[in-house]
Structure 1
Amino acid sequence: MIPFLDLKAQYASIKDEVDAAVLNVLASAQYILGDEVAALEEEFADYCGVDHAVAVNTGTSALHLSLLAAGIGPGDEVLTVPFTFVATASAICYTGARPVFVDVEPVTLTMDPAKLEAAVTPRTKAIVPVHLYGQMADMDAICAIAERHGLVVIEDACQAHGAEYKGRRAGSIGLSGSFSFYPGKNLGACGEGGMVVTNDSQQAETIRMLRDWGQSQRYHHVLKGYNYRMDGIQGAILRVKLRHLDAWTAARRTHAAQYSSLLDGSAAVTPPIEVTGRRHVYHVYAVRSHQRADLQHRLQAQGIQSGLHYPIPVHLQEAHLDLGYAEGDFPVSEAAAREVLSLPIYPEMTPRQVAEVVSAVEQDSYVC
């Protein structure tokens, strides 16, 4: 069997380091925040090329607090994309603001700047581009529109640890960037975790208070805050994994290059494209197929796992029908939702496994 990802193999490769880090936290009894989390914040800020990083309990919390700290609240509109995990829109809703969707462009499936400006209204306060699958959105074009209209840009970098846009790391371009450390991410915790990165000291200070019940110091509650703190064990584990992230990213990029080379000119699927000037970190290697259901069934029958990211765009999810959108409103996102299929990709894969997946994909019965 070829799994979609193999967290057991990852753990086995760094077991001694992880076990020692966890035992150190248990011995220290610093279970919430503490020295390990503070050290992770410093190291991740350096990794992203920013001045500040604030650790939280999930990527959703990172987005939520980034928006709150930027002043987003009831009555505001926030522009984002419908082709994303639902957490992007949920974090906007948590602030009391309204998500307003902008379709994606067909190559990268990230926010289409050509459709962005038309969505701006007097109520628009922020833009949340999503760096989907590990490739960054067109930040120059997005930021230019934001500047013209006085809007805040909050990067949803939850799938883009180490991705780059013209030499700048994900999370370092907008007012702040939000990361998820969900276990399956390129940098994943052994549980939940998230991080906000920013060059703005006020944004960082506000988020630090918001994550810890709005406290400026113990029992001094300046803001109406939340319990969004990272625990010490996750901080320690993520510090270990961060030391390996560049090597893991290089392995993902090698596997992706092999996939793309073998699938070049494929009649069965369309492989993803890495846009010039952007460094794709391949959190997901998503191909497109007009016969996706048949292809996925065939892969499964041969012991090859795959994933759907994402089969229903947010504007068509039952939970968000109150936003008033309907089928046909965002045709590029809707087409992608029908066609994308994520093939296995993880650092521990072998070239032989990649070739085996491609061989299964290319069978004549799945020619489009």
Structure 2
Amino acid sequence: MQHNEAKELFLKYQSGQCTAEEKAIVEDWLLFGKLTEFNLSDEELEQEMKYLDSRLPIEPIIRKHSFRYQLPVAAVLLITIGLGIHFYNKNPLSNSGPVNSIAYEQGITPGTNKATLTMSNGETFHLKGNKDQMLLQETGLKITNTKQGQLVYDAHHPINAHNPIQPESLLATHTVTTPRGGQYEIILPDGTKVWLNASSSLKFPALFTAQERNVELKGEAYFEVAKNAAKPFQVLVNTTVVRVLGTHFNITAYSDEPNIKTTLLEGAVQVNNRNRIDRLKPGQQSIIGKHGEMKVVNAADTEHAVAWKNGYFYFNRTSLAEIMKQLSRWYDVDVSYKGRIPVEEEFVGKITRKASISEILNVLELSGVHHKVINKRIILTSEN
């Protein structure tokens, strides 16, 4: 069932013109929406979902949760149908044909592999994942940029800290910065892999010669840290220090977000903030507020935390404001609001980051959030 077909079916139901089969399909969705009004157990909700899934031609995208909040049934229906078509399609662009939208015509396209490498001496390299390129080759270090969108530091000859004659570039600090609409993967000289999200930066030494492997992060990054018990790996974010030996974790620390979030997927990390220290286990998340308050979530949504790294947006009861922040960073657009926007609504679903922004905006249209696109600025309004 396509997007327009689903919308037409719901309007047909409202006007009383559905066949018995069509009426059953829509009423199943209404029933699905009404599930948010009850305090159902996970098992009861799972049973209802299986029944609905067997009746509907599209996959429902509301996950297995015990919902404790209530939305208007019609709104839930629209959100569910819209997101089910656009967000839960495993390859939503495969049958969409040529993109023909105002957003695309005005240059709003998905982000790509692009970043800037800045050396301590001010020299810069504009990185793109379109060709293999040697950036630096000296005794102790080789830096290459690959067509896969990787910046690779190869410490092929470990530096001798007691040798006074060494290239200055090996003792320098480098910074990789991604713009809005860009992302990049970095393989540090110790073998640690870092995926840098849009509007982010990572500062690190060209070679780890100190007793600790220290890097500084702004924005968001996913880390797979190479194990080295003799040299702990530390990520510095403002007044927060995330200390590890070898593990997989994600840090979100955008300046326009109220919290710094560290989500652990594998191993163990120690989060230090001012006078408090928390040690995380896999599946936990540390949240630090703007005033330094700190808490640990025991059952964190790890899929949500790393969805960007895996190539898709994942919304799990996500607000409109948070959705638009993510779209702004990835599609390099500005967002403004006009009139009354239904900010109380929460959205559930996922969509590839390769999708056109129009696909996502069209889903929002179903819940009464209309849009205009003017010079790479998206204006959201409740009015047509």
TM-score (norm 2): 0.26
Higher strand share: 2
Greater RCO, 1 or 2 (C-alpha within 8 Å, sep 6+): 1
TM-score by length of 1: 0.27
